[in-house]
């Protein structure tokens, strides 16, 4: 599973420590879980200290951009205006918008309003109105490292029904974070998300989920959120991934816009909400790198 490494050699992670003082104990433990039939990460999924620092710096920029959006977003603004804000701010801070031209995506940010679940494409024709809820999903490349996070924004006076959906989606992420512990399982996150969403009368999107991130925009593992405890990949220190459940007011079923091939909608046209964070699993729990 792992390339053999002598305990006296400098560790592969470039920490400057000997393997026996660095990753050997972690990898011995991974091997034990593997023997029990568990799904475990490869060494490629364990970021080095240097890489984690790079992703952390990228995340700081991503957070600053979302803070900037929060200061300016308002009714009457087009989603294209949000795209311009995000694009210009990322460049000003020395970064590159990760979505722009990614697999043909035409803009620098995703803006998903009301019944748009994700991958909404900014447009001059899409104008924010009072009562709308919108997810702004920002992803940044900074010095070669990727970060990814999104927030929901309520525009003006929002219905109590929509406000509850937005709040419950945020609570799902917070509850999932409490489940992020080394030597637990990825399925624990989805289990608590599903339980909380269902308890509030909502559904969870099943076809789209989180992903590894850091050296590329989308990396392994893929993270789904309709799962059971003690299932899925083992959580190991050094893993970096997003938590981003999409919570629907109505059915979990979806459809993709035939015209642009990107934007995903709720099948019943009821609202959807999503918050996204990038985290790294640590020896004690987790650290949020972008939110």
Cis link prior to 20 (omega < 30° from 0)?
no
Residue 204 placed within a domain: yes
**pTM of the full structure:** 0.95
Q: Where are the alpha helices (DSSP H) in 179-245?
A: 187-199
Residue 85 placed within a domain: yes
Residue 10 placed within a domain: no
- The parent domain of residue 103 ranges over 23-30+39-290
Write out the two tokens for 154: 């309520």
Tens-place pLDDT, residues 50-88:
999 999 999 999 999 999 999 999 999 999 999 999 999
Tell me, what's the pLDDT at 19? 85
Q: Give the CATH number, domain containing residue 257.
A: 3.90.230.10
Residue 265 placed within a domain: yes
The 10 Å Cβ neighbour count of residue 51 is 19
Residue 9 placed within a domain: no
Write out the two tokens for 67: 């803070």
Residue 2 placed within a domain: no
Counted domains in the chain: 1
Tell me, what's the pLDDT at 1? 62
Write out the two tokens for 273: 């909400």
Residue 4 placed within a domain: no
Nearest to 62 by CA among 152, 137, 139: 139
Residue 7 placed within a domain: no
Mean pLDDT in order along the chain per 10 residues (291 residues) = 80 87 90 95 94 98 98 98 98 98 97 98 98 98 98 98 98 98 98 98 97 97 95 97 98 96 98 98 97 97
């Amino acid at each position: 599973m792992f390339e053999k490494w002598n305990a006296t050699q400098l560790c592969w992670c470039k920490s400057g420590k000997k393997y026996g003082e660095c990753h050997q104990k972690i990898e011995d433990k991974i091997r034990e879980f593997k023997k029990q039939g568990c799904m475990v990460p490869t060494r490629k999924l364990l970021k080095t200290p240097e890489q984690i620092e790079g992703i952390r710096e990228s995340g700081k920029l991503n957070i600053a951009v979302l803070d900037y959006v929060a200061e300016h977003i308002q009714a009457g603004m087009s989603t294209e205006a949000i795209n311009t804000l995000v694009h210009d701010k990322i460049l000003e801070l020395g970064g590159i918008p990760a979505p722009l031209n990614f697999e043909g995506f035409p803009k620098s940010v995703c803006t998903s309003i009301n019944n748009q679940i994700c991958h909404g494409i900014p447009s001059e024709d899409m104008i924010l109105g009072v009562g709308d809820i919108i997810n702004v999903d920002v992803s940044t490349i900074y010095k070669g490292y990727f970060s990814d996070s999104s927030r929901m924004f309520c525009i003006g006076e929002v219905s109590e029904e929509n406000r509850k959906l937005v709040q419950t989606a945020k609570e799902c992420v917070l509850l999932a974070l409490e489940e992020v512990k080394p030597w637990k399982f990825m399925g624990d996150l989805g289990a608590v998300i599903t339980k909380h969403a269902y308890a509030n009368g909502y559904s969870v999107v099943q076809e789209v989920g989180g992903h590894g991130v850091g050296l590329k925009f989308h990396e392994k593992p893929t993270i789904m959120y309709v799962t059971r405890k003690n299932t899925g990949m083992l959580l190991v220190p050094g893993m970096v991934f997003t938590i981003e459940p999409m919570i629907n007011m109505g059915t979990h079923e979806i459809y993709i816009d035939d015209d642009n091939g990107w934007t995903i909608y709720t099948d019943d046209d009821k609202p959807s909400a999503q918050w996204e964070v990038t985290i790294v699993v640590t020896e004690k729990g987790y650290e949020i790198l972008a939110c």
